[in-house]
Amino acid sequence: MTTLYFIRHGKTVWNDEGRFQGASGDSPLLKESMVQIELLGQHLADLDFDHAFTSPIKRAKTTAELTIKELKRPPLLTELPGLIEFGMGVWEGMAFTDVKAEWPAMYDAYRHHPEKFDSSLVQGSESFAQVEARFVKAVQAVVAEYGGPDKTLIFFSHGMVLTAGMGALLKIPLTEIRARGGLGNTSTSVLTTDDGENFAELVRNDTSYLGIKADASNTI
């Protein structure tokens, strides 16, 4: 069995300000995030990871590098483009409130009803189907190459691509992937697989090691 740990990056300035970051937008990690990432690393410190993978986007890659420093047996870290965040096109850098005002139906769809999200109405945006497909392809390729009996892998990525992508791995219908809410910054989710095709969920959105309460600014 292969065990897969999925980590959402630490909280950023734009997270705090309520802005879309997406695949091309980015902002620095907050100072408080450095402490939280250290706590994450300490929480995972005794585990043996056979390999680590990260989105190439700075906020995720920095989270990965800082986490790995805390591990007693640091694995090699490889960039994996399939882990990049949902490409939001013209929404990237915009405040949630401004997007909601200008694209009320699409904002509601993105947040609550992904099956109704029409990427053709948001210039430059990916669709949920595209995001799920590239995430699943990337993870399955990694499992095929690095997975196996008693193998443990760790992935550092982003809130919406993890929500959609893990949902796809678990074969959760698009209509239901938002039903359990979002994922917190610096959260841990854990899946397992025996064959790289069928996945089971052991843990979702664990942030207990951070000692903080979830709020809208650190959950997506």
| Residues that constitute the known binding site for substrate | 8-15, 59
Provide the annotated binding site: 8-15, 59
Burial class (CB in 10 A: 0-12, 13-18, 19+), 70: middle
CA–CA separation, 137 and 129 (whole Å): 12
Q: Which amino acid is at 210?
A: L
Burial class (CB in 10 A: 0-12, 13-18, 19+), 72: exposed
| Spatial contact of 35 and 41, defined as CB atoms under 8 Å apart | no
Query: Which residues face 203 on adjacent strands?
Result: 190
CA–CA separation, 69 and 84 (whole Å): 22
Q: How many CB atoms lie within 10 A of CB 106?
A: 19
**Cα-based distances in Å from 46 to 66, 68, 206:** 16, 11, 17
